[in-house]
Structure 1
Amino acid sequence: MTNTLISAALRVPPAAPAEATAFFAARLAFQADVSDVHASLESEDPGFVLIDSRGSDAWAQGHVPGALHLPTAEIPERAAHMLDASVPVIAYCWGPGCDGATRAALALARLGYHVKEMIGGIEYWIREGFPVEGPNGVARRAADPLTAPVGSTHCAC
């Protein structure tokens, strides 16, 4: 007798390896994680401009040091004045429950910019213990041990 129970995770079977390769390669072309963005910003030349696509109140509350403030709604009018079209852009917003960075990246791509989204947004930036610039200067919280290895700045993945 054959077991007719199918794993919930495999009700839809995995894609063929060639399709999976294309999908995961594409994701990496569209997204960067906070650890890689942080490591790049710590270098002398990250090779991109980081933009915070949140509104003014959120920006004032706290943002990634060195990021430019360019709210999504203002991209069509302000991007050409703030960004060099030859420099890639990485956009972030609140976090994984927010698609603001996706909307910002789409707006920038429509204007001809090479763009990626920083997955995790400022939420995971903070949870991984990276610095945040706010009204009282730059502050850093301890990394959340459920999102980042204790005593390290990256997961070595």
Structure 2
Amino acid sequence: MKSSAVSLNPVLRVAPAAPAVAAAHFAASLALHADVSDVAAALDAGGDPGFVVLDSRSTESWDQGHIPGAVHLPTALVAGQAGQLLDRAVPVVTYCWGPGCNGATRAALALARLGYQVKEMLGGFEYWVREGFEFETWEGRERRPADPLTAPAGAADCGC
């Protein structure tokens, strides 16, 4: 016969955190991350969104497509050039390719070490495009249809 700890399903094999621990974790996560939809909504609202978007990818990647209005500063150059391109009083939202890339995380770390308030945009450029938001290339602006696996079909937002 199996012990009760072994017989628990895989989700509950490790007990959920206490509510206060979970609340602190999720609050910290929201303080460190922004999602693609929220960034797009803030940029589309007009006026000053209160933050700057930073693309931390290579020049070749930037040329392939980037968020309109973003500042281009590859991760490896953040420490040496951030002070020339960014105002320390303005929060920065970093992005790179997508969930499989940690360039935006490394850029955010470098910026935080330089004294910037920073968030990482979850999903990166991949999800920006997959959710159907406009992007720029060296040829002009482009928009692809939203992927129904990442954005609601026929609705203004996902309701989350």
Q: What is the distance in 1 between the residues matched to 2:3 and 2:113?
A: 50
- How far has the Cα of 1:2 moved from its partner? 9.0
SS in 2 for 1:122: helix
Residue in structure 2 matched with residue 16 of structure 1 by the alignment: 18
CA shift for structure 1 position 105: 0.2
| Alignment partner, residue 31 of structure 2 | 29
Compute the displacement of 1:141 (Å). 0.4
1:105 partner SS:
helix
User: How far apart are the structure 2 equivalents of 1:114 and 1:152?
Assistant: 33
Structure 2 SS opposite 1:91: strand
Other structure's SS at 1:50 match:
strand
Unaligned runs of 5+ in 1: none
Asked if residue 129 in structure 1 is aligned to residue 121 in structure 2, the reply is no
Q: Match for 2:40: what amino acid? A: H
Residue type of the alignment partner of 1:124:
Y
In 2, the alpha carbon distance for the partners of 1:103 and 1:85 equals 18
Aligned to 2:87: 84
Please, which runs of 5 or more residues in structure 2 have no aligned partner? none
Q: Which moved more, 1:6-15 or 1:146-155?
A: 146-155
1:39-78 matched pairs, under 5 angstroms: 39-43=41-45, 44-78=47-81
Determine helix, strand or coil for the equivalent of 1:96: coil
| Equivalent-residue separation in structure 1 for 2:154 and 2:70 (angstroms) | 25
CA-atom RMSD in angstroms: 1.4
User: Which letter maps to 2:115?
Assistant: G
May I ask how many residue pairs the two structures share in their alignment? 157
Matches of 2:57 and 2:74, distance apart in 1: 5
SS at match of 1:126: helix
Match of 2:112 in 1: 109
- Distance, in Å, in 2 between the alignment partners of 1:127 and 1:3 is 45
Over 6 Å off, 4+ runs:
none
Which residue does the alignment assign to 2:40?
Answer: 38
TM-score by length of 1: 0.96
Matched, 1:118 2:89: no
The alignment partner of 2:11 has SS state of helix
Report what 1:149 is aligned to: 152
